Structure 1
Amino acid sequence: MTRKIVHIDMDAFYASVELRENPQLRGLPVVVAWESIRSVIVAASYEARKYGLRSAMSVRRARQLCPHAIYIAPNFTLYRDVSRQVRAIFMQYTDRIEPLSLDEAYLDVTVNHKGIASATEVARRIQQEIFQQTSLTASAGVAPNKFLAKIASDWNKPNGICVIPPSKVLAFLQDLPLEKIPGVGRVTLAKFHRLNMKTIADLRQRSQWELTYHFGRHGHRLYELARGIDMREVDGNQPSQQVSTETTFDRDLPYIQLQEPLDAIATKLWEQVLRKRKFGRTVTLKLKTASFRIVTRSQTYSSPMYSVDDIRQAAAMLLERVEADKRHTLYRLVGLGVSTFAEVDEVDAQMSLL
């Protein structure tokens, strides 16, 4: 049976939620970000995007492009609440849901709770119900697999729908720029261009052997994607790989001043660990220097971190392992994460003792 996959992507989600809460700002360039010039944009309204503002852009750059933009600090508690509302709508149609983030998810509606034969009709109803219940819009992609559905959901934004029927897959992909492939970043794109490949059609001309030679294990997947093949199932049980948090400093700090912000990061991380009940044995420290070089150190322990003090001590030991020039190197960011999570039964037993 040909799968019927829908990818729902909320339109400028965080910014749209803020505009819903502050309707007087509609039509204005609104940016969701902390106002520090060392922060980055979490989300930008469509009005702000007209000035070139986008997610992950530095606030410093954003202010240059659009000095009159309005900044609103992120409210992730509110965003999670709205995301749960949207998830409840999905569950009216299918249990096969794979969230990618708070604002997007895959749905397998091949067989759905309402017995609707058309996946396109399912997507339209979901869009309508999202708007009725939240006053927010979402875009949808409908296709026979996840790869195509994700590309399609970005095709007619905002509040649009794009359908790729099985008979039109190869035609749809033919002239698609390679940067549209999910996961293709600047490095891979530059490599494509060096090999004189710019579109899916160019990629399709290369043999599986050649792609594997240039791109390693990923070459086989590129060979299949060029032909619209993606056998991955919608999986709602994918475990989190890491719980992490990080902060960018208002000014670059020397090594000797990192311990205090690192303790604060450990506290924030512990709050996430408790909320998600993800207790890990591996602790990872991330530092970014003033010259944007990434430094990481990691340590796996025999038992999970069951207290904030455990995380702080592990972080302090990792910091000592940084072999930088401690007198002259400056740092702009520090992050901390835990992974290699304990099983649920082990967590329940341990927490009952604490």
Structure 2
Amino acid sequence: MPLLRAEAEEKRHVPAPPLLIGDYEKLEIYAFEMEAEIASLEEKLMASVGEREEALTRNGILETELEALSNQLNTTNSELKLMGDEITSLTLRLDESESLSRSLKANHDFILREKEEMEMQLTDALLEFETKKSTWLTAEKVLLDTDEKCKSKIARLSEDLVKVKSEMESCQNLCKNLQKNLSSSEENAKAERKCSMARSLEIAQLKNGFEMLEITRLICEVELLTARKTAEELSEKLINMEVKAQNPIVCYDLTCDLAKESMNKEMLSNNIEKTKLRMKLRSTQAKLDAFRGRYMEAVDEMELMNKKFEAASTKLKERLASYGIEILNLKKQLSTKD
């Protein structure tokens, strides 16, 4: 551009022919126009260069942004893949949890059914225990009544034994007196033996009567000892029966405690605890049956002992009555002899 301007200046200073002056002016005008146009084109070129540089910078920025977006896209794709994997795992877990919830629901329903069955069984067992408790209470009342009756009988028999002992002591004293009288009568009989044979016969009869009286006294003492032994055995039997009568209440209390504990644990128990409860119920039933058998045997044995005791007491009373009659007869004989 400066070269063109210099050439134009040189052409202005060079003299030109008159014919070319008009063309030259036109050319100058055209040159000025061209210069203006070139200047405008240069400005446009500079503007386009600036725009190009700005576009390049924008392109670089866009490329960096595109790279960042591509990186973000890759990360989002990887995250989407991870999310897809997590979604698949969550769906699998959801399916597993649904199956587990179904199984838990089935187990819950089964446990509820088992609970209802166990509640029914426990109510039946409690009702059975209540009935057995009432029967045992009635049996205990009957046993206490029989115990009181037996105690009263033992008291009466002890009083009778005291009376018999006193009578035996009186009989012993009477026997001693009779022995003294017999010895004196024997001495008198020795002195009067030559006078009367009838007197000697009476003395022999008195000796026989005294011997019989001694024999009956010994028999009465033996029967008294046997009656004491039977009374002691009967009292021991009554004490054992009282202890045995207290045992079913303790057994019932234990079974009730077990039932309460099983009811407290029934929400967490399963089939094993159910079988344990059944085994415990069976064992308690077996114990109750065994105790019922032993109780019946003890009652039968007690009745037999009462019968034996009554028979022995009646025999003793009969013997004592006969012994008293014999003593009265001896007293009458001695009074008639005197």
Q: What band does the TM-score fall into relative to the shorter chain?
A: under 0.3
Which one has the bigger helix percentage? 2
Larger radius of gyration: 2
Q: Identify which of structures 1 and 2 has the higher relative contact order when contacts are C-alpha pairs closer than 8 Å and 6+ apart.
A: 2
Normalising by structure 2, we get a TM-score of 0.16
Which one has the bigger strand percentage? 1
